[in-house]
Amino acid sequence: MAKTLVIFDIDGTLVYSNKIDSQCFAQTYGEIYGVAFPTIDWTKYPHVTDTTIFNTVIRQHFGREAAAEEIAEFQHRYVELLVKRRRAQPAEFMEVPNARRTVEQLLGDDRFVVGIGTGGWLRPAQVKLAHVGISVESIVVAGADGHEQREGIIGQVLETVTKSHHVARTVYVGDAIWDVTTTRRMNMNFLGIRRGGDLEVLQNAGTGIVLQDYRDYERFIQAIFEATPPKG
């Protein structure tokens, strides 16, 4: 049976934290290196992945490439801080309305396969998903580990899924401008999510369909089948 593969971003798409996660990234960097992190405006970086962001700042500050062991150490301390902040302020880290239930319903529907392709590293991604109760046991998940660009992350999900499923249609679900540009370059169907209600941010960038959240499940399914690659 031909399947529709739905690949979700995480930050802002399934979960959100009012930029606290980004602040944790910057705080971890400052604590390790004793240098202020330049900016958490991710549009200022060549690619919006944890790998590219970290490597870019290391090059700027120290004129060298990041070593594998320091990336591992940074991830370890970053994850520790994420867990600590979630314990201290659990209400600040929430699912986009009905995201968990939507993922569960898709997993129970034979028409769909679910994937997650995030620009973040896998270890922090698992913390974020677990906090809102989204299990990845039956989901193909790819992150920035070993990837500089988001195309490689999404492509990894697609390649893995197609080894065991006949995929006739793929839709990426994301919330940010870089999700629009990535899917446009890949000529991949895109469905926008803007939980703040500012749908025009993605619409003006060429996205055909933008929803605020997942509370209307039937509308979400309809949008999955209607989504097209971004224009422009």
- The answer to whether residue 192 sits within a structural domain is yes
pLDDT at position 1: 87
Judgement on whether residues 110 and 209 belong to the same structural domain of the protein: yes
- The answer to whether residue 231 sits within a structural domain is no
Judgement on whether residues 113 and 9 belong to the same structural domain of the protein: yes
Domain limit, last residue, from 72, 90, 108: 90
Judgement on whether residues 55 and 145 belong to the same structural domain of the protein: no
pLDDT at position 23: 97
pLDDT at position 57: 98
Judgement on whether residues 158 and 117 belong to the same structural domain of the protein: yes
How buried is 26 (Cβ within 10 angstroms: 0-12 exposed, 13-18 middle, 19+ buried)? Answer: middle
pLDDT digits (tens, 9 = 90+) for 31-64: 999 999 999 999 999 999 999 999 999 999 999 9
Judgement on whether residues 37 and 65 belong to the same structural domain of the protein: yes
Instruction: Return the CATH number at 43.
Output: 1.10.150
Query: Do 48 and 176 touch, CB atoms closer than 8 A?
Result: yes
pLDDT digits (tens, 9 = 90+) for 140-164: 999 999 999 999 999 999 999 999 9
Single pTM value for the model = 0.96
- The answer to whether residue 26 sits within a structural domain is yes
Judgement on whether residues 105 and 206 belong to the same structural domain of the protein: yes
* Domain count within the chain: 2
> Which are the contacts of 91, defined by CB distance < 8 A and separation ≥ 6?
none
Domain limit, last residue, from 58, 90, 122: 90
Query: Do 175 and 193 touch, CB atoms closer than 8 A?
Result: yes
